[in-house]
Structure formats: structure tokens, C-alpha cells
Structure 1
Amino acid sequence: MQGFDWKKLQNGSDIRGVALAGIADEAVNLTPEITQQLGQAFVHWLAAKLNKPTADLTVSVGRDSRLSGPVLMQAVMRGMAIAGSHVYDFGMASTPAMFMSTVTPGFDCDGAIMLTASHLPFNRNGLKFFTAQGGLEKQDISDILTLAAKNEFTAAIAQGSVEPHDFISVYAAQLVTNIRQTVNHPKHFEQPLKGLKIILDAGNGAGGFYASQVLEPLGANTTGSQFLDPDGTFPNHIPNPEDKAAMASICQAVVANQADFGIIFDTDVDRGAAVDASGKELNRNRLIALIAAVVLQAHPGSTIVTDSITSEGLTQFIETDLKGIHHRFKRGYKNVINEAIRLNQTGQASWLAIETSGHGAMKENYFLDDGAYLVSQLLAELAKARLAGRSLSDLIANLQEPVESEEFRFKIAAEDFRAYGQQVIEQLQAFAAKQADWQVVPHNYEGIRISCQSPTEAGWFLLRLSLHDPVLPLNVESNVAGGVTQIANRLLAFFQTCDKLDLRSLQQVLS
């Protein structure tokens, strides 16, 4: 395929592309032919890494509910089989389950591929790759794309076999066992969730299995659960715990059904969020605080690694109330996970790495960003709290939350958007240094974070470069009503000197 730009398929440590036609200005670039070459490239890359012939490799493949999934899955399996590799066809699966197939006895796959584009629109799809060491890194993806572009593959003498298997049931059973052992109540060991009504919203993604194969075997009443059937058109709402409409839907369902707890997953179940019995969202800072409370009960003094946009109240809660350490790092779930792994290697115990997006990874679970595992830990704590006559939300009763919080995204028109964005950040630092009541926050790992100490602002802001897009996101929080507007007004005066920024999102709030 001469002229094809393989690099455009890279999205950090994943591959993503347009798989279906029909959306204006979005040409298809993830075709069955391309996907077959990616399958061939992966097993050749893997064979070189493991020093094994491709014919000796066993690789698993799964997909989410996307409309393009079945065709692309056949293509990627065909590519690997042509190379002689043995392939497990897991059908509908979750991203975390695909990793688990590399470490589950009886499977012990050399590698795994998940076809998903997470919460992106229905016309997109992509590939996530795993080995027993975890998800691949950015450089690994670049290397696989280079192999695919060269397309110098030769067919094996004997084509590899493709074997269907229901692995999601194996994975679900692992979660069930984990919850039972975590609660470990002698009278309620088999069904620790009996007497609890728990509603699941799978958003028509791949997570519907969790109701019938995890919640119900543990005794939960799942009446009122919604959008469990896979549907790649996503007819009800975007399967994304960060989406306001999605969260409003699960909150409403919990209240309407008088449920004890609500769960929502993204499309491929590597992210999750929850809702308490009153219909209050347990996501972003609240979700981090809740799982941090669970982790620090088991591992006192542990470091909790988060992304850069978490609130000051969360830091105070983790360090003052929970007696842990809050290490605020960079955006990007791989960045957060890799930082927690690095800290452990240096001797600083870190048992949790979590983003405000809902990506959460725990040390005892291979530092795998697994929405189902994270939620399962909350369910175990919910069961223990109920048996002790307490509420799960009691764990975060002391969490101080901002009165106001906003994110503005400024598109960058400069050709070298990274250089221009960095220039804006440096100029803002100089501007902030001249403000008597603004102070640069130390130990900040991306962009610039400023503490705004005036009583009318009482908050902070963070300006950083987007991981992949020509955008400068600005996060602003305040502990007083009207504080965000006060901070934003002062910032607007600065940003209006930056002629290559689209400031409409900020101007609309201030108009």
C-alpha cells in the first residue's frame, strides 16, 4: 500500500483509526487489509521479543461491541494464522480480560490483542496489545507499525489454527473469587452481595457480562440494570464515565430503582465509575478518594499516584485523613501507571495509580487499568460496610470538594503546536510571577499549576499541553462561588496576547 501513512494510526501506546465510512471528512484508514498486516506485524514483533518462531506463539484476540469489530477481528486473526501462530478467538471481551489471558494458567498466551477504540464514536476502532508484562509502550507500537509498513512477511509452511473460547467467563469467575475472598464473611462467603440492589449500566459496550456473571452469582439483585446488550451504534448514551449524559443516566436509574449502588463502564471496561444510594456520582476526585481509602486501609502510608488535574481537597484528604502520600503526576493512564511502577522500584510503596478519567490500576492486579477490578474492590468494601452497619460513602465523608470546577480547551493554530504551546506556558509562568496573590505550585510535572490565594478566588488553575492534540487544556477550580470567573477573567487578559489560541470556550463563559 504505497503512500499509506501508517504513523497516523498511532495514538500513544494504542492504534486507532477510522473503520467505517459515513462521517464527513473522516476517511477510512483502518481496513481489513491494514488490520491483517497489523496482526502479522504483531506476531513477528512478539517472536523477536521472545526469541521464538511465530509458529510457536499463542495469541488471544477479543473485541468490544463496535460494528466494525467482527470483520476486523477476522482480519487480524487471519494475519496471525498466516504466520503460523495459534490464535484464541475470545469473541466479545473486555480489554482487561485480554491481558489476563497472558497470565491465567491453562492459557498463558504469549500476547493478546483487543479491538476497541474505547469511548470514541461508532465509526472508529483500534487495537490494544498486551504481553504478560502488561500493555505495550509507545515505542513498541512504533516498531509494530514499521514492520507493518515494510510488509516483508512470508507465510508459514503450516497455517496456524483459530480456536474459539469463552474467556470472559473465566475472567468473570476470577472477579467473583476475588470479591468473596476480600469480604471473607463466614456466613455470607458465597453471596456477600445478597440483599443489595446493584444496577449496572454497560452503555451497550462489552461490560454487560458483569451483571449476570459477577453481580448475580454474588447474590446481588440487578433489577433495573440498563444497556447491557452490545450495540455498536451506542443508541442510548456514550459509554464513558466522564460523559455528563452517561453519568446522569446511571444516577437517575439508581434513584428510580431505589438501588444501593450503581456501576457504569466504558466500552471496553478498562474504566469504571459508581453511584451511591442517594444518586451521587462517585467518579473523578470522589472515585480516587474512595479507592484510596480502601487501599490505605490495607497498605498504610502507601503513595497514591494520580494525574495532574486532581483537586487540592483530594491531596488534603489522602495526606491528612488517610495518612498516605499523594503524588500528583502527568495526564495519561500509562504515565500514571509507569510512575507508580517506578516508585515501587525505588523502594517507595505505591499500591494505586489512577486518573480522574476512571483509569485505575492496582499493584496486586499487575498494575492493569481494569474498571471491573476497581469496581469489584468497591463492591467488596460496600458488602463489608453493610455487614458492619456502615455506609460506603462514610469513607469519604471528610473529602473537601471544590465549589466550582471548569475545563477550557484552547485549540492551537500554530504549525509547530508543541513549541507554541510550551512558549505560552512559559509566558504564563512569567505573568503569574507578577501577581502578588498567585504562587507556582511546586512538584508539578506538566504545564504550570498556580495556587490562587485571594479570598475571592481561593483555588488553582493548571495549563498544560494535550497528550496528542494541538490543544492547551486549562483546568480551573475554586472553593468559593464565583471564584472560577474571577480567575478566568484575570487569565483572559493574558491569553488575549496569544494570537494563535482559540479562546472561544473561555470567552463564552465570561460573556
Structure 2
Amino acid sequence: MEQWLKLQNGSDIRGVAVAGVAGQPITLQDPIVRSIGFAFAQWLSEQLGKPSNELKVAVGNDSRISAQQIKTSIFQGLVSAGVTVFDSGLASTPAMFMSTIFENHSYDGSIMLTASHLPFNRNGMKFFTGEGGLEKQDITKILTKAANVGEFTNAPTVNATTINLMDDYTAHLVKIIRNGTGSDTPLDGLKIVVDAGNGAGGFFVSKVLQPLGADTTGSQFLEADGMFPNHIPNPEDPEAMAAIINAVKTNGADFGIIFDTDVDRAGAVDKNGTPINRNRFIALMATIVLEQHPGSVIVTDSVTSTGLKWWIEQKLGGQHHRFQRGYRNVINEAIRLNAAGKESWLALETSGHGALKENYFLDDGAYQIAKILIKIAQLNMSGKGTIDELIADLPEPAEAKEFRPKIKVADFSPYADKVLENFAAFAAKTEGWSLTPNNYEGVHVTCDATAGHGWALLRKSLHDPQLPLNIESEESGGVEQIASKIKGFLSSYDGLDLPGM
């Protein structure tokens, strides 16, 4: 059982799919993938109260080199359970969810084969029903069922029906942008470049931007290549951001877009070559959402800046709810707030993962970009400025840094809990520090002007034996001042390693 559950990564399944990296043996062998496919069919049948031989499931993939092998095995497991299968080909994760609700598709479930921005040898699975993406507990159930099935050696012949899902998905995006602007070619006269990082996002140029009138000259790395030869397809990666910044500047573009491998995350660059990611991306999306839904709660993860809180609450009149790391945590909190009668129209992590209430709370980078493109077009057509001007007044910290103290103890979770408990007591009695109210993760400390003029967050990693530490300061040297006190506290623990501190 343990072998199977090690494949779980929160609400996804991930593992090593091909050889090529020393010390990383293949964990997604064909018999194991078949069992997972079979187990998903069992789980879906139980959820829907429908015999498995009446189920229809679509499977899509990003550009990974293991995609076809994994897809064949997952199909074999599904077919062995009696499921009718459909092949979406190269697709995005958001499109795979939409396959369960589009009228001309409406599959009972869908699977996206992806490992997001991880290296070429990795792959994984994300599962959807018409209710949305599966939760952590659902993945545990599926892997438990797969373990009970054991390694599935039967490999039946599969005749999957090929479908043109991405045509329907992109037509859906184009319609949204046209309806939002009142124009068939709202991007006419604008130069917009895309960096797809050789992932699955190259479609956005030919199937979304060009039909809307944009000049996409200078777009790059649009071809699917699972070896990712140019850079990691990850909007958080400095090399990836440098590549799209260069494309914007070199081509004199009005806007630059960068997607991760499976297009559930996005980042952007304004016409000046300034990145719109992390706090700036949230600020821009909050500006757009709060214009349409005044007073809405904006849910973010726990490491957003003080300036962003001011922006959402003081500048825009919204409510900032700083919650936990993990995009499912952030999205689920927004869903919970809405169910409790407190309107929340946007949930967004600094990683770029996020969702809007109007879009099924679907984690969809392309949809977020579509919302921004509507605003860009509106500003351009009215002559009221450019997108960078919308967030020009966002306060930026003087310094911000992340450290990742490592836990060397085997049973690291309870050890981390003890460290955090003691750190809270330490912070409460440190001069110039106070525990930040309404905190939902780890220990969040506010430091006054005499003690670093900023804040610090020490928390448990979601998956790794680490205690990530984020520090932000409004003054030069403030991060070092705060970090030195925290290092002094952490240094008393033999079970910790403090690289970079």
C-alpha cells in the first residue's frame, strides 16, 4: 500500500515515467498505470451511481515524452473496466475539466496527464468530474483501490475515439473575450507575444490571439517538446520570466504571456518589460474582479505582501483573506466562504494558480489571461491607458526573501509542529514583534519599524521535510535584521539545517 500512496501529490498523482535521471527509478510502470485507470473507473462508477460500462471518460496530455505510453496504459485500465474512452490529444488541464460540462462532450470524467513544470522524466494525472477536480481524499481512495487491484498485467487492445476538444475550448475563450469587449477583433493593433515553454500552451497564439486580431510576431517556444529545451515552463522560474521579458522588449510588444506546461497557471509582462506575476498578478486580477464585484473577498495564499493587502482593502475596497499555501486550499476556502454567504469571486496563489467563481472555480491560467485581455482591449479602445497603469501604485516591498530550513529528522511533521509552537512563544516575547491576527498557516509575525519593518512567516512545507521561511521588509537591510533573530532561534535545534541563512 505504501508504494501506491507515495504516488499521491496532494490532489494529483505524480511519479517517474521514464528513465534518464540518476537515482530516480521509474514508478509509473505500465501495470501500475493500468491499475490506476481501472481504479478510477471503479471510483467514478460509485460516485455517479452508474455502471462502469456506461461511463465515458476523456484523456488528454501535455507535451511530455512519456505521454503516449502513459495514455495507452491508462486507457487499458479504463477499457478493462468497461469504460468507453476518448482521446483529447495535446490538451490543457482546464480544457479537460471543461470536457465534462461542454454540451457536445459532457463526459462522465476526464484525466489530464501532466506533471506541471517538473522535469522531463516525470508525469502524473489530474482527475475531473463535472463537479470539478478531485480532492486529496479522492486520490487516496483511488490509489487504495489500485493497490487492491494490484499490478494490472492485462493489456487489452484499445480503440479510443479521437476528439477535437481544444477547438471547442478555444472557441469558448474567444467568445468570452468578444462578448466582454463587444468586438470581433478587440486586439486589433496590439502586439501580444506568448512563451509556451514548449508545453501545451502554444494553441493560444493561433486559436485565441490571432482570431481576435492580435499581432503575435515574436511568440516563442510554441512547439510541444517534452524535453523542454529552452527553459522550464513555469511562470515562477527566473529563467522563464527572463525569456518572456526579452521577447516583449525585443519585439516591442504591448503585452507578454507565459504559461506553465499544462496551462493551469500563467504569468505576464507589461509593455515596459516589467513582470506581472506573484503579488502583481494578484493585484491586477483583483482590480479587474473588484470592478465587477465590489466588496468581494479576495482569497490568497499566506505569503502575499503587505502592499497587496493595502491594495485590495484600502485602494479597491475589497476584503483580503490571506489563507494557506496550496492552490486547492485557496480555492476551497473561497468556495467555503461563498457557501457561508460571503461573496468571494477570486482565489489566487502567488504561484499563479487561481480560479474565479464565474468560471466554476477552475484553476485556469488561460481564462485569467482572457480576463486581462478584455481589460487591455477596453483600455485600448477607449484610449484610457494601458494595463501597467492599473497597478502602477501597488506598493512594493523594499526586500523580500525566502529561506528553506531543512528538517533532518525522519518523522519530520511532529518535529515541525514543535518548532512552530516554540517559535510562536519566542515571537510573542521578542521586542518589536507581534503575532499577526487572522493567520491560518504557520506562525506569521509582524515586525515594527524598530525590528525590521516587515513580516515573517515560518510554516510547514506541504510535501517536503522543510520549514519554509518568507520574510518581507519595507526598508533596506530589514530582511537581514529579521532573519538574524529567526536564525538565532532555529540554530538551537539539532534537527534543522539552515542553508543560506
Report TM bin, short chain: over 0.9
Which residue in the other structure is 2:257 paired with?
263
Name which of structure 1's ranges 236-245 and 80-89 shifts more when overlaid on structure 2.
Answer: 80-89
Tell me if 1:47 matches 2:42. Answer: no
Tell me if 1:481 matches 2:476. Answer: yes
Q: Is the Cα contact below 8 Å between 1:83 and 1:159 reproduced in 2?
A: no
Deviation at 1:159, TM superposition (A): 8.6
Which residue in the other structure is 2:176 paired with?
178
Which residue in the other structure is 2:404 paired with?
409
Which residue in the other structure is 1:110 paired with?
108
Which residue in the other structure is 2:347 paired with?
353
Choose the corresponding residue for 1:395, options 390, 397, 400: 390
Choose the corresponding residue for 2:139, options 135, 138, 141: 141
Q: Distance in 2 between matches of 1:159 and 1:21?
A: 25
Tell me if 1:122 matches 2:116. Answer: no
Deviation at 1:154, TM superposition (A): 11
Aligned CA distance change for structure 1 residues 497 and 82 (closer, same or farther; 3 Å)? same
Which residue in the other structure is 2:376 paired with?
382
1:41 counterpart letter in structure 2? A
Q: Is the Cα contact below 8 Å between 2:194 and 2:219 reproduced in 1?
A: yes
Deviation sequence 1:62-114 (CA, Å, 0-9, x none): 00000101111111112112222111100100000000000000111100000
Deviation at 1:459, TM superposition (A): 0.6
Which residue in the other structure is 2:465 paired with?
470
Q: Secondary structure at the match of 2:228?
A: coil
Tell me if 1:9 matches 2:7. Answer: yes
Q: Distance in 1 between matches of 2:125 and 2:150?
A: 21
Q: Distance in 2 between matches of 1:342 and 1:64?
A: 31
Choose the corresponding residue for 2:17, options 16, 19, 23: 19
Structure 1 length normalisation: TM-score? Answer: 0.96
Deviation at 1:423, TM superposition (A): 0.9
Choose the corresponding residue for 1:297, options 287, 291, 301: 291
Aligned pairs for 1:308-319 (under 5 A) are: 308-319=302-313
Q: Is the Cα contact below 8 Å between 2:296 and 2:344 reproduced in 1?
A: yes
Q: Is the Cα contact below 8 Å between 1:456 and 1:480 reproduced in 2?
A: no
Tell me if 1:190 matches 2:188. Answer: no
Which residue in the other structure is 1:426 paired with?
421
Aligned pairs for 1:223-372 (under 5 A) are: 223-372=217-366
Q: Is the Cα contact below 8 Å between 1:81 and 1:162 reproduced in 2?
A: no
Deviation at 1:398, TM superposition (A): 2.1
Which residue in the other structure is 2:442 paired with?
447
Deviation at 1:427, TM superposition (A): 1.2
Q: Distance in 2 between matches of 1:247 and 1:59?
A: 36
Q: Secondary structure at the match of 1:443?
A: coil
Unaligned stretches of 5+ residues in structure 1: 507-511
Q: Distance in 1 between matches of 2:497 and 2:397?
A: 27
1:37 counterpart letter in structure 2? S
Q: Distance in 2 between matches of 1:487 and 1:352?
A: 32
Q: Secondary structure at the match of 1:217?
A: helix
Deviation at 1:434, TM superposition (A): 1.7
Q: Secondary structure at the match of 1:143?
A: helix
Q: Distance in 2 between matches of 1:13 and 1:263?
A: 27
Tell me if 1:33 matches 2:27. Answer: no
1:291 counterpart letter in structure 2? M
Q: Distance in 1 between matches of 2:2 and 2:179?
A: 51
Q: Distance in 2 between matches of 1:196 and 1:104?
A: 31
Q: Secondary structure at the match of 1:275?
A: strand
2:363 counterpart letter in structure 1? D
Name which of structure 1's ranges 299-308 and 16-25 shifts more when overlaid on structure 2.
Answer: 16-25
Deviation at 1:155, TM superposition (A): 12
Q: Is the Cα contact below 8 Å between 2:75 and 2:158 reproduced in 1?
A: no
Tell me if 1:60 matches 2:55. Answer: no
Q: Is the Cα contact below 8 Å between 1:317 and 1:399 reproduced in 2?
A: yes
Q: Secondary structure at the match of 2:497?
A: coil
Structure 2 length normalisation: TM-score? Answer: 0.97
Deviation at 1:455, TM superposition (A): 4.3
Aligned pairs for 1:148-159 (under 5 A) are: 148-151=146-149
Deviation at 1:134, TM superposition (A): 0.5
Q: Is the Cα contact below 8 Å between 1:84 and 1:155 reproduced in 2?
A: no
Deviation sequence 1:223-266 (CA, Å, 0-9, x none): 00000000010000000000000001101110110000000000
1:413 counterpart letter in structure 2? K
Q: Distance in 2 between matches of 1:368 and 1:455?
A: 43
2:193 counterpart letter in structure 1? I
Q: Which stretches of structure 1, 4 residues or longer, exceed 3 Å deviation after superposition?
A: 152-156, 158-161
Q: Distance in 2 between matches of 1:81 and 1:66?
A: 23
Name which of structure 1's ranges 456-465 and 295-304 shifts more when overlaid on structure 2.
Answer: 456-465
Q: Distance in 2 between matches of 1:384 and 1:34?
A: 50
Q: Is the Cα contact below 8 Å between 2:271 and 2:388 reproduced in 1?
A: no
2:489 counterpart letter in structure 1? F
2:143 counterpart letter in structure 1? L
Q: Is the Cα contact below 8 Å between 1:55 and 1:160 reproduced in 2?
A: no
Q: Distance in 2 between matches of 1:445 and 1:294?
A: 26
Q: Is the Cα contact below 8 Å between 1:459 and 1:477 reproduced in 2?
A: yes
Q: Distance in 2 between matches of 1:160 and 1:246?
A: 38
Which residue in the other structure is 1:495 paired with?
490
Q: Distance in 1 between matches of 2:21 and 2:343?
A: 47
Q: Distance in 1 between matches of 2:398 and 2:376?
A: 27
Q: Secondary structure at the match of 1:369?
A: coil
Deviation at 1:123, TM superposition (A): 0.5
Choose the corresponding residue for 1:201, options 170, 195, 198: 195
